[in-house]
Amino acid sequence: MNKTLTKDEEKALLDAAQQVRENSYSPYSKFEVGAAVLAQDGRIFQGTNIENASYGLTVCAERNAIFAAVGAGERRLRALALVTQKLPGMAFNSPCGACRQVMSEFMPPDTPILIAVLDKQKRIVYRKTLRDLMPFPFDKFSEK
């Protein structure tokens, strides 16, 4: 599996995540998140965070994007992009533990993860791998 993204793939993935972020349902946190995953065949699947008054029922953008891809038959994903707003005192906002665990089910450790923050009119992108975010996963890709 090719782990590098072309500039066009990276831009398309980030643009898709930023666009779907506008559909966020986040009346409680006011924290809008958009995510997009790139499938092996080049298709992009999007997801946004959907909150609920019963906070435990909230689902993150990353999981919604992954679940959309899996629902369409994809099982191995090439990359994930995440777009959020800038929070004071933080360089970027990384996926939660639940999202990291779901990511590790469908992405090998060296999968590119693009984490972008919107700071005024600027999109600042941090490039990581799933291994950076979850160095000791409970997954089928781990070395035994």
Using DSSP, state whether 111 is helix, strand or coil: coil
Catalytic: which of 10, 62, 74, 105? Answer: 62
C-alpha 14/C-alpha 144 separation (Å) is 34
Residue 61 CB neighbours (<10 A):
29
Q: Are residues 17 and 60 in contact, defined by beta-carbon separation less than 8 angstroms? A: no
Active site residue 22: no
Long-range contacts (CB closer than 8 Å, 24 or more residues apart) made by 12-15: 12/44, 13/37, 13/38, 13/44, 13/79, 13/80, 13/81, 13/114, 14/81, 14/83, 14/114, 14/116, 14/123, 14/125
Q: Which residues are catalytic?
A: 62
